[in-house]
Chain A
Amino acid sequence: MDTASAPPLAAPLDIAFDYTRSLGPVLGRFMTGLRDRRVLGARTADGRVHVPPLEYDPATHAPVTELVPVPPTGTVTSWTWTDQPLDGQPLDRPFGWALIRLDGADTALLHAVDAGTRESMRTGMRVRIRWAAERSGHIRDIACFEPDPGPPRASGSATGGDPATASDLDTSGDPDTSNGAGTSGDLSTSGELVTGITTPIRLSYTHTTSAEESRYLHALSEGRLLGQRCPACRKVYVPPRVCPADGVPTEEEVPVHDHGTVTTFCVVNVPFAGQRLDPPYVVAQVLLDGADIPIPHLILGAAGEVRMGMRVAAVWRDPATWSTTPENIAHFRPTGEPDAPYESYQEHL
């Protein structure tokens, strides 16, 4: 095909990792509270109660040490609606994303409200925590909020007229007792303190190649290695790219041989997450004949014998399997030719 007009290639790139979070003393107590169906807020020097808690007072910068319980009921201060929930969101049916100021708190918590329909959502609506059946000390211990039919509390007005809600916090009648957890003002926990959480994170991209890279990959699918010469420095780049030194696109196509010289290499003996080859294996910088920059690739069939200057050749996979990928070349193998003299590749180290 006419590789000059090759369309860009695109493919998904999905990466994921189960990150961990050390919580520290403040968030650790907050998460422990959630596990025990109790919400704790952080009281800062100005008397305000922050839910979720802050670790440091934004005004004085001092560490937060005082945590106070707040009830599981609150008021929606603002909201939006999602008709099509995404994977991993709190609910699998349409729901409201709301800022919810819990009674006794001065700040709002973002969470889901299982209101059924958009028409049921309103700023100022009263909501209550629906606890998850299984709780581990995680924000997901709050499954979501649900409309609360109960009477509004005095300090829970939608406009938040009373700035002294923290001092008004009623701890004499523990609002959590209806859920059967804890006693009034008692911050002790029934189990181990939660010190860490796991937060699996997935990222999904569509990776699209440049025009230069697309031409290279289409040539590879035909078993050819394609270089391009920079019009400014005259260097031949494999794979082709906008010249990193001169900042200009490379245009002139230059066929490159699938034989080359090992400039330098590394023996990988170490296993690691996501590794696709079993160590040990050799990753070498291979300067293809006719190119001015080496490509990294595997050298097989020469255990313990790989050396700087070794002459190697590409080992192509079965042409029936070729596609637009550098994996059409399985690896490189020694050719048995005499080693290239050091002077011939020393400028490429």
Chain B
Amino acid sequence: MRRAAVLGTGQTQHQTRRTDVSMAGLCREAIDRALADAGVDWPQIDAVVLGKAPDLFEGVMMPELFLADALGAAGRPLLRVHTAGSVGGATGVVATSLVRAGVHQRVLAVAFEKQSESNAMWALSIQPPFTAPIGAGAGGYFAPHVRAYIRRSNAPEHVGAMVAVKDRRNGALNPNAHLRQPEITLESVQASPMLWDPIRYDETCPSSDGACAMVIGDQAAAEASERPVAWIRATAMRTEPTYFAGKDHVNPRAGAEAAQALWQAAGITDPLAEVDVAEIYVPFSWFEPMWLENLGFAEAGHGWKLTESGETQIGGRLPVNPSGGVLCSNPIGASGMLRFAEAARQVMGRAGEHQVAGAKTALGHAYGGGSQFFSMWVVSDTAGR
């Protein structure tokens, strides 16, 4: 297959309300930074791919229509991707596919969410007729599955709080992060209010305005780049129904199969040994150990041991979310692309204060819906095989 690489990435300053910019301005802040980082200008962009989570979040049907000018889409193909919370990752995968298929040489991928213009929890708790009023947003949806994980793995209760402490402190190293809390402690997390028992306030992601963009190029474009690029070694996406009899909400089959396909395509046989850093979609703290198992970094039931032993901290065996992750910044539509872009930044050596020393191979991961959509990629500092 043809090779593709991330030529550059850009992201906004993520925060609760970006009232200084429109949706268009928010996207362009990320796009302009990605173009500059890639060292390319508009004439070199062949196509644009936009990702965004449900339209009900901002109440704009098909935002790609009114954003076309701002996204530089005039005169170019524009595709919209929508796979709920995983959409930022899926957008990166679609852009990569367009390059690897030989359709385009350089593709601009963009993803955003302006959560302050609405209320995502309201949008996720719409009450259709003939149903009982029991929805309680994403936290209410995922909390029972976190409880099931704790029961199944016998994980000690403090593991979730440990993830929150690690990610928020990592976020303090990331100037773009929404939440930057260098002083956070295990005790302060455990003292924070219980929102959706067993999920505490400090173990939940914030609601952010933000955007992310990447320029993905073919081999010639990558070799013409004056700066290091992130070679995309493999991508994978898988889907499963939200509900079916026997669905494993703790360790979903679609995620496990996507990971298996990803490692195989990348030629990786021992992910824990061969991956230097991982940016994993962790909107609630306990999803770190859950996804470590689902991704194959640990045996089922043992993911929490990597977290508890400190191996997922910067400096550990597998630093997870050195950027602070979704727990520090959550512009939902962009959150998946931020994971992909942060993985790329690590192997490009451009992650700044939260750079993992010597990172050569990195995972970017996203999931969405009721653990329904999974998207992931592996990037490296060299083109490999």
A residues sitting closer than 8 Å to B (CB atoms) are: 9, 11-13, 15, 17, 19-27, 54-61, 63, 195-196, 199, 201, 207, 209, 213, 217, 230, 233, 235-237, 243-245, 263-270, 272-277, 283-285, 292-293, 296-298, 308, 324-327, 329, 342, 346-349
Q: How many residues on chain B are close to A (CB under 8 Å)?
A: 64
For A274, give its contact among B70, B125, B152, B241 (CB under 8 Å). Answer: B125
Additional A-B contacts beyond A13-B129, A272-B122 (12; CB < 8 A): A9-B129, A20-B116, A23-B22, A26-B22, A55-B24, A58-B69, A244-B241, A266-B139, A293-B244, A326-B131, A347-B246, A349-B248
Roughly how many angstroms separate A25 CA and B24 CA in the complex, as a whole number? Answer: 11
From known contacts A199-B59, A274-B125, infer whether A326 and B144 are also in contact, taking CB-CB under 8 Å: no
From known contacts A11-B130, A22-B21, infer whether A264 and B244 are also in contact, taking CB-CB under 8 Å: no
A contacts with B: majority SS? mixed
Q: Would you call B244 and A245 a contact (CB within 8 A)? A: yes
From known contacts A55-B69, A349-B145, A349-B249, infer whether A9 and B130 are also in contact, taking CB-CB under 8 Å: yes
Q: What are 5 A-B pairs with beta-carbon distances under 8 A?
A: A207-B130, A209-B130, A264-B148, A298-B132, A349-B249
Roughly how many angstroms separate A245 CA and B126 CA in the complex, as a whole number? Answer: 25
Q: Tally of A-B residue pairs with Cβ under 8 A?
A: 185
Q: Which residues of the other chain, A, contact B197 by a CB distance below 8 angstroms?
A: 266-267, 269
Q: Which residues of the other chain, B, contact A298 by a CB distance below 8 angstroms?
A: 132, 134
Q: Which residues of the other chain, A, contact B339 by a CB distance below 8 angstroms?
A: none
Q: Would you call B246 and A292 a contact (CB within 8 A)? A: yes
Roughly how many angstroms separate A323 CA and B76 CA in the complex, as a whole number? Answer: 54
Task: Give the distance to chain B from A15, nearest Cβ to Cβ, in Å.
Answer: 6
The residue in B21, B72, B74, B151 that gathers the most chain A C-beta atoms within 10 A of its C-beta is: B151
Interface: B100 (CB within 8 A): no
B residues sitting closer than 8 Å to A (CB atoms) are: 17-25, 28, 42, 58-59, 68-70, 72, 74, 114, 116-119, 121-123, 125-134, 136-137, 139-140, 143-145, 147-148, 151-152, 193-199, 241-250
Q: Which residues of the other chain, A, contact B245 by a CB distance below 8 angstroms?
A: 230, 233, 235-237, 245, 292-293, 348
Roughly how many angstroms separate A263 CA and B151 CA in the complex, as a whole number? Answer: 11
User: Closest B-chain residue to A342, C-beta based?
Assistant: B151
Q: Which residues of the other chain, B, contact A17 by a CB distance below 8 angstroms?
A: 59, 118-119, 122-123
For A325, give its contact among B17, B74, B130 (CB under 8 Å). Answer: B130
Q: Which residues of the other chain, A, contact B42 by a CB distance below 8 angstroms?
A: 60-61
Task: Give the distance to chain A from B253, nearest Cβ to Cβ, in Å.
Answer: 10
Task: Give the distance to chain B from A52, nearest Cβ to Cβ, in Å.
Answer: 11
